[in-house]
């Protein structure tokens, strides 16, 4: 029987945290590259960048860049929120906004798809424009719902921007997501007419992209948290009847993981970590792993080799039987 | 945190998806093939011939977005029309329709 090497567990911790990073999705394009991203996805569309310069003087560029958890190696993923740092301008449908919960911290941001969101970009039709001396309000209807938008009037440029707005016209609104008297609304810092309608298609695709990136990261965060919870439970539960299963569904990790080897290793590890298998003194034969997980023995052996190096499993009665290390 | 109007969302559809939403609010983009009083015939982003009933804007561009209620698998009773111009990426829009009706439906409806 191999002993767990002291170096093994440190390496394990490094492996898990780096595992989260390398498996995190690619970064959301920063504000400056959104234009080029759009032109490749959506043909000849070139968005009007007039408001970008104004926005970037109001906000530091780091706020505008789409920052993802992958760029913060020290942030600890939790099931609820992956990054303490607020995302930049998040593309969202009104439906997604309506489902956002309040983050409850001092920043009074919202959480969309597990991510802290302060500013949102939305595309839809404007209705019920209402001009007052201090502000201009309208409802933005993007086909998934309606949200109130407020454009505060401080300069002449603000009114001019809004003059062009007529009922039923397509606009892009960039604004700060807020809650007022229980209702969500957008405090718009930019309202721009849509002139090339590929932008409409593009926006909804960006919403989908944002959602997929963050639910992928979220499922890995949840997987990590549930794995940690499992290993802390396995010792006291030993010997008792085990209704307790690892919370990580196997096909989840296979579906969302970009690094196939790591997620497969997790599958093997999960199988070995099941309390019923932990209880087996002789361990689990690689043939059984191969049958149960429906993969060739060679692949099982590769995974076992990796897991053994990481100090997560060890061979029991012979080189074909393995058990998961407990108490990690 | 309710009180937001998400009561009448319009589902993204192409020709093939229209039948799934008969009786409900839909939105689609058509490439206009024929325009009469009271209706417009157009090609959907997946190549089907659809009819949009109502009063289209004048003049009409090549592409028009129609939002309305699906009467049957090839007719929409249009409430809102938007000229989408003479150039529009129909295949992108078509992909969006497929995505928006699949696993990602909950982001829209």
Q: Which two tokens stand for residue A198?
A: 């590929």
Sort out which chain B residues have CB atoms less than 8 A from A196's CB and list them: 85
> Could you state, in order of their start, the residue ranges of all structural domains in chain B?
11-92
Contact A307, A284 (CB under 8 A): no
Cross-chain Cβ contact B6/A211 below 8 Å: no
DSSP assignment of B41-57 = EEE-TTS-EEEEES---
CB nearest to A143's CB, from B7, B9, B95: B9
CB nearest to B89's CB, from A43, A144, A182: A43
Chain B: give the shortest CA distance to residue A183, in Å. Answer: 6
Model pLDDT for residues A30-73, shown as the tens digit of each residue: 444 333 434 344 444 444 444 444 444 444 444 444 444 444 44
- Which residues in chain B land under pLDDT 70? 1-7
SS3 of residue A24 by DSSP: coil
Question: A28-42, A96-110, A130-144, A157-171: which has the highest mean pLDDT?
Answer: A130-144
Sort out which chain A residues have CB atoms less than 8 A from B100's CB and list them: 204, 208
φ/ψ region of B54 (left if φ > 0, alpha if ψ in -120 to 50, else beta) reads left
Contact A135, A158 (CB under 8 A): no
Q: Which CATH architecture has domain B11-92?
A: Beta Barrel (2.40)
* Cα pseudo-dihedral A8, A11, A12, A17, rounded to 10: 170
**ipTM score of the complex?**
0.93
Cross-chain Cβ contact A125/B27 below 8 Å: no
CB nearest to A201's CB, from B6, B82, B96: B96
Q: List residues bridging with A150 in a β-sheet.
A: A137, A187
pLDDT at A201 over 50: yes
Interface of B with A (CB under 8 A): 1-7, 9-10, 12, 27, 29, 63, 65, 67, 80, 82, 84-85, 87-89, 92-93, 95-96, 99-100, 104, 106-109
Phi, psi of B32 (to 5 degrees): -65, 125
Chain B: give the shortest CA distance to residue A171, in Å. Answer: 12
- Work out whether the CA dihedral A111, A117, A119, A122 comes out positive or negative: negative
Q: Quick check: pTM over 0.80?
A: no
In a 10 Å sphere around its CB, with 0-12 CB exposed, 13-18 middle and 19+ buried, how is residue A260 labelled?
A: exposed
Beta strand ranges found along chain A (DSSP E): 89-91, 101-102, 110-112, 115-117, 119-131, 135-141, 146-152, 170-180, 183-193, 284-285, 313-315, 321-324
CB nearest to A98's CB, from B4, B29, B63: B4
Cross-chain Cβ contact A205/B96 below 8 Å: yes
């Amino acid at each position: 029987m191999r002993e767990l090497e002291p170096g093994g567990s440190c390496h394990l911790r490094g492996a898990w945290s780096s595992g989260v990073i390398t498996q995190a999705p690619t970064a959301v394009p920063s504000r400056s590259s959104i234009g080029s991203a759009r032109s490749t996805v959506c043909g000849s569309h070139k968005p009007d960048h007039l408001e970008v310069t104004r926005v970037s003087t109001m906000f530091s560029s780091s706020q505008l860049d789409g920052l993802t958890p992958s760029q913060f190696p020290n942030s600890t993923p939790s099931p609820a929120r992956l990054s303490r740092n607020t995302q930049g301008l998040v593309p969202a449908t009104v439906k997604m906004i309506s489902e956002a919960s309040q983050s409850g911290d001092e920043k009074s941001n919202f959480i969309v798809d597990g991510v802290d969101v302060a500013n949102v970009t939305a595309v839809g039709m404007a209705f019920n424009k209402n001009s007052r001396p201090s502000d201009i309000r309208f409802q933005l209807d993007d086909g998934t719902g309606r949200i109130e938008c407020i454009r505060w009037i401080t300069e002449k440029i603000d009114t001019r921007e809004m003059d062009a707005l007529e009922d039923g016209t397509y606009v892009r609104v960039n604004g700060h997501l807020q809650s007022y008297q229980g209702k969500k609304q957008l405090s718009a810092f930019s309202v721009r007419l849509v002139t090339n309608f590929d932008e409409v298609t593009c926006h909804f695709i960006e919403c989908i992209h944002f959602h997929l990136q963050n639910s992928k990261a979220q499922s890995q965060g949840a997987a990590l948290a549930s794995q940690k919870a499992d290993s802390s439970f396995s010792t006291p539960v030993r010997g008792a009847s085990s209704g307790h299963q690892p919370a990580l569904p196997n096909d989840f990790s296979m579906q969302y993981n970009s690094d196939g080897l790591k997620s497969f290793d997790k599958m093997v590890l999960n199988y070995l970590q099941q309390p019923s298998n932990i209880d087996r003194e002789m361990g689990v034969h690689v043939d059984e792993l191969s049958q149960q997980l429906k993969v060739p023995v060679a692949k099982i052996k590769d995974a076992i080799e990796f897991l053994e190096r990481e100090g997560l499993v060890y061979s029991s009665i012979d080189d074909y039987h393995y058990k998961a290390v407990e108490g990690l | 945190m309710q009180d937001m109007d998400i009561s009448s969302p319009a589902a993204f559809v192409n020709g093939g998806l229209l039948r799934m939403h008969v009786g409900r609010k839909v939105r689609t983009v058509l490439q206009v093939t024929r325009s009469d009083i009271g209706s417009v015939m157009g090609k959907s982003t997946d190549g089907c011939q659809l009819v949009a009933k109502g009063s289209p804007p004048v003049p009409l561009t090549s592409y028009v977005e129609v939002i309305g209620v699906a009467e049957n698998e090839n007719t929409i009773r249009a409430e809102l029309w938007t000229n989408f111009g003479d150039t529009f990426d129909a295949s992108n829009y078509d992909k969006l329709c497929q995505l928006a009706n699949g696993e990602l439906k909950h982001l829209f409806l």
